[in-house]
Amino acid sequence: MESIEWKKFLIPYEHAVEELKVKFKSIRNELRTIGEYSPIEFVTGRVKKVSSILEKARKLSVSPEEISEKIEDIAGIRIMCQFVEDIYTVVDYIRDRDGEDLEIVLEKDYITNFKDSGYRSYHLVIKYPIHTALGPKNILAEIQIRTLAMNFWAIIEHSLKYKYKQQIPNHIEDRLKKAADAAFKLDQEMSEIRHEIRQAQKFFEVRSNIVSSILQNIQSLYLSGRLKEANDFQERFNRLWEKEDTMELKILHKEIDKLTQKYETYE
């Protein structure tokens, strides 16, 4: 094990984590920008610590030469979703990319087939191409997709496993299992009203985009020296904002956007 140059060995995994985070955050941001619901709430990632790699290699009887081929989660991405249904939508996104910028090696559905401990999540192991200073390299990475409730439970379980060195006392294991069931019950309840939740979130997102666009256009009018128009629109916006009148804000948005485009055409 000591023969591995860990700093050099982990560089491709660090690149993979950063690239994958950008890819999935871009999907989320693009959907939100166009006013669509995003099944991706947020994305995190990490490269496994050397001590954890060594421990897993020892546990699986993996030799130093086999680590890159047999340890699947040195690079790890975690995607959080609001609803269980969103998890499978994200899985479909990843399947659509299979053969393009990644290759799916293995899928593990721990939601339909949850572990005895109560652990729930959807795992995909992928082969991901990285371009390094020494040439191209395909590495294994794991993508975990969970709801926020599943993630909260999993973080607590992980901490307890670390504290008790994988030997969690039976009475705590029982309570964890009950907590896992309660967390999934919460996910099921949220799924029952997801239509109303999504509609409310979409309404908020659309309104936020309209307000942002109006203010940017007013600023453009100020910068181009059209102070009267800018002041008039600012006063109208302030009144509508106080009234929380979204329909009138949409009308104002169309009007100012049309005027701004007209001035840009003349210039």
Contacts of 148 (CB under 8 A, 6+ apart): 41, 80, 81, 82
99 φψ region: left (φ > 0), alpha (ψ -120 to 50), beta (else): left
Dump the DSSP string for 115-137. Answer: -TT----EEEEEEEEEEETTEEE
Contact 119, 154 (CB under 8 A): yes
Q: What angle do CA 144, 201, 96 make, to 5 degrees?
A: 40
Catalytic residue among 19, 72, 142, 205: 142
142 catalytically annotated: yes
Contacts of 102 (CB under 8 A, 6+ apart): 94, 126, 127, 128, 129
Active-site residue list: 142
